[in-house]
Amino acid sequence: MALQEPSWVDAMDEELNQFDKLNVWKLVELPKGKKSLDMRWVFRNKQDDTRVIVRNKSRLVVRGFRQRGTIDQTLFLKTVGKDLILVQIYVDDIIFGSTSTTLCTEFEGVMKRRFEMSSLGEMTTFLGLQVRQSATGFYCINGNMSKTF
């Protein structure tokens, strides 16, 4: 159980310390007639490209699916002139891409200044899938299957 494993307890402490540091929330009285949203801990091992575990990560996430619609509210799009930037967020992972290298560089800079984050460079894995990129697009590999985008 994660609560009994020192490395996971450290990871949970790190997450809660980040909440304090970034002023993510403040405790208030629940308004009359309102229900609070459930939260839960998500535990993951961060792995490098060769699947070696590099650290344990835990995230406290709100179970917001109980309030969300059918639209994916973790995908963000922005058009700047003729260019487009897409940002996808999943728990504590962010992937982004653009038709403009400048937009990617600017977005990465803003995120690093505002949040304590690191950039792993070109995406090679996401949510356990291997990702390969080429000039004509990218494809994901899951076991023996691949899908081109």
Domains of the chain, by residue range, sit at 1-68, 70-118, 122-149
pLDDT per position as a tens digit, 45-97 = 888 878 888 888 888 877 655 446 455 677 888 899 999 888 888 777 788 88
Bridge partners, 132 (sequence order): 139
- Under 8 Å between Cβ of 85 and 77: yes
64: left (phi over 0), alpha (psi -120 to 50) or beta: alpha
The span from the CA of 88 to the CA of 90, in Å, is 7
Q: Decide: pTM greater than 0.75.
A: no
- Under 8 Å between Cβ of 42 and 59: yes
